[in-house]
Amino acid sequence: MNKKVIVKGLVGLMVIGTCFAGTIQIKGSDTIVNLSQRLAEEYGKTNKSVEISVTGGGSGTGISALIDNKADIANSSRTIKDSEIQKGKKNGNDIKEFTIGIDALSIILNPKNKITSLTIEQIGKIFKGEIVNWKEVGGADMPINLYGRQSNSGTFAFFREHVLQGEYSDKMNSMNGNSQIVESVKKDISGIGYVGVGYVVDNGKPINSVKIINVAQKTGETAYSPVDAKNIYSGKYPIARGLQQYTNNKPTGQIKEFIEFELSSAGQSIVKDEGFYPIDGDYKKSNLQNLK
Amino acid sequence: MLRKKITSAYLKNILFKNLFKISSLTSIIILLSLLVFLLKESAPMISEVPFSDFFLSRNWNPDGWNGEFYGILNILYSTLYVSALTMLISIPIGIFAAIFISELSPPLLKTILKPLIELLAGIPSVVIGFFGIVFIGPLIAKLFHQYNILSALNGAFLLSIMVLPTIISLSDDAITAVSDDLRHASLALGANRLEMIFTIVLPAAKSGIIASIMLGFGRAIGETMAVLMACGNALRFTGNIFDPIRTITATIAIELGEVAYYSTHYHALFGIGLVLFILAFIINNIAEMFIKKGHKLKC
């Protein structure tokens, strides 16, 4: 009898202990991981009672973890699939979406490549393996090497849906993260890759080690650069997307406070610092709806 | 007094005997439960993926745009391809190094060399993988005028670094174990040192050397991190050593994190894991066979 009481007491203490320690587990998108880390650090400076751990692994991995209750917040660079919302419901959770920033998916080439702009159709054909030599799009005569992401990546899924509308070439290198793609294209003069704009902008300026090309919606239309905020907010850059966070049900307590911080002007200035774009009107509205 | 001593010694004896027994049984139990677990988790796949779509298809694409595909041929081929390439690099180097260490090097050098080579085995594979991305890959690309850095050859070089300690160390043991009588007899009959090594010592140590090669091969097939980082992970079917490829281990490592539990994809990943397990099991058994044969010869 006594033993039971002691055990119960211990379990109780442990539960209370974890509540007080206040940890928030954030998991998912590699595109968002650095931004998320910065946001968590800045938030931690003024809120010492909460510990936020941020890990990557890919959008799919993050959403899987959220569904299995292994994460409090899932970072995702693609919007959640219906099937995933249903799985959450099965576990008794109503998954809520927050957009914490805007990303312009950037197409990068080696600086030695002459090409400065491509159309969505050309990029799609290149990654589908239908265009295999740079001379077919006006470049030098050399084979194209593709650097894409692994299938657990939200960027992989977004790019396939919005640019390829088909299957990736089986010759594409499947890289583990945005920075690996940047590193590879840096070294490979025939390489092409796609990464979040935060990975090619440093201190507000585009990096020199890779070339960020302009993208046009269709042949004959003007091509726009992803590193110019104007093109993003006007909708002229064709492959901009929201950077999402998902929670199980409406966030409460510390998770809610943290998300509010991310959406505040202080949080949004960090988003800008990291090379992404702060959210505007429509996103703000739907965020508020899911928060209140 | 005397009786007491005997009993305590006797008890200790029993205690330790059983301790050893339990320890050895534990490893068997772990192995068996692993096998049972793999079988159980992959079994539902049989009803969900037709046999021919699994074993006879080259298309592995569980999250494809045009549907789900679970063909193992390409990734199995790539696994064997990069392992075979590894063996092509590491067998000659490994055996020559073992001959040097056991037959030719001065004793002092041997006492330095052998621990150093065995230290290689202790380097974490993620460090070796990193080494491949920043150093070996670019070097290969430069030497052979290739554009891409991540390739089957890059992976094979990294795997060689991991496999060589096994091959060198075990081959050296096998060569050292050859009786000096044989060496002396062959020298006395007029053979020079090189002839002695190649016609007498190596054939006598053959089974130990083959066993070391098979164990190295098993290691190469099962290694994950280095090939994941260095090979580029393209799903294609290729015979070109400069092309990126994707192995079974890399496929599991990439996809297991996002897979929904108990989905077809989940079961299929355990299915390819089982294939890998069986492959490694067969290879290790062949190695074991050669080790036993070697023991018999020496007796």
The model's pLDDT over B214-265, given as tens digits with 9 standing for 90+, comes to 999 999 999 999 999 999 999 989 889 999 999 999 999 988 877 777 888 9
- Which of A207, A78, A246 has the alpha carbon at shortest distance from A154? A78
CATH of domain B52-298: 1.10.3720.10
SS (H, E, C) A229-267: HHHHHCCCCCCEEEEEEEEECCCCHHHHHHHHHHHCHHH
Confidence band of B296 (pLDDT split at 50, 70, 90): low
Sketch out chain A's domains with CATH numbers: 23-102+242-291 (3.40.190.10), 106-233 (3.40.190.10)
- Kindly tell me if the per-residue pLDDT of A4 is higher than 70: no
Domain range list for chain B? 2-42, 52-298
Residue carrying the six token digits 């000659």: B92
pLDDT given at position A6? 54
- Asked if A109 is an interface residue toward chain B (Cβ–Cβ < 8 A), one would say no
Residue carrying the six token digits 């055990």: A7
What's the Rg (C-alpha) of chain B? 24
User: What's the half-sphere exposure (Cβ side, CA atoms, 13 Å) at A118?
Assistant: 30
Q: What is the pLDDT of residues A246-267, one digit of tens each?
A: 999 999 889 999 999 999 999 9
CB contacts < 8 A (A, B): 79
What distance in Å separates residue A225's CA from the closest CA in chain B? 27
- Asked if A163 is an interface residue toward chain B (Cβ–Cβ < 8 A), one would say no
Q: Is the complex ipTM more than 0.85?
A: no
What distance in Å separates residue B220's CA from the closest CA in chain A? 21
Confidence band of A205 (pLDDT split at 50, 70, 90): confident
Q: What is the pLDDT of residues B122-165, one digit of tens each?
A: 899 999 999 998 899 999 999 998 888 899 999 999 999 999 99
Residues on chain B touching A68 (C-beta within 8 angstroms) = 261
For A61, nearest residue in chain B (alpha carbons) = B258
What's the Rg (C-alpha) of chain A? 21
Q: What 3-state DSSP class applies to B121?
A: coil
For A159, nearest residue in chain B (alpha carbons) = B65
- Which of A248, A224, A219, A246 has the alpha carbon at shortest distance from A234? A224
What distance in Å separates residue A207's CA from the closest CA in chain B? 20
What distance in Å separates residue B219's CA from the closest CA in chain A? 23
Cα B64 to Cα A207: distance, rounded to the nearest angstrom:
33
pLDDT given at position B293? 79
- DSSP string covering A71-121, please? -SEEEESSPPPHHHHHHHHHTT--EEEEEEEEEE-EEEE-TT----EEEHH
User: Is the Cβ pair A58, B257 closer than 8 Å?
Assistant: yes
For B61, nearest residue in chain A (alpha carbons) = A151
Residue carrying the six token digits 């077919």: A136
- Tokens in use for B244? 């990126």
